[in-house]
Amino acid sequence: MVNRYEYGAFRNGVFSAGINFEKELSEREHSTQRQKISFHVEEALRVVIEKLKKKKIEYDFDFMQSDFLKIINEWKSNHVKQ
């Protein structure tokens, strides 16, 4: 597998992150998929926040992270309406 995480450069106020998943993930139960996906999204978010903090951007990253984790935890536990 190629690198699981790919991070782009911070340009014009935009930072990109990509996550590569193995094909076998699609063969697992939905609850397992949600657990694995949310784990890797949280890890990518953590790295992005670290990179942006190094740029000395004035932003409440702690609030951003807690807000995002609240959303992903709701999705992970399947309480978000689809």
Q: What is the domain count for the chain?
A: 1
81 in any annotated domain: no
82 in any annotated domain: no
Token pair in block for residue 44: 């990518």
Provide the whole-model pTM.
0.80
pLDDT in the model for residue 61: 93
Q: Print the domain residue range for 54.
A: 5-76
61 within 8 A of 45, measured Cβ to Cβ: no
59 in any annotated domain: yes
46 in any annotated domain: yes
pLDDT in the model for residue 1: 53
Determine the Cα angle at 12 with ends 46 and 15, to 5°: 20
**15: confidence class by pLDDT, cuts 50, 70, 90:** confident
- In whole angstroms, what is the distance from residue 21 CA to residue 46 CA? 18
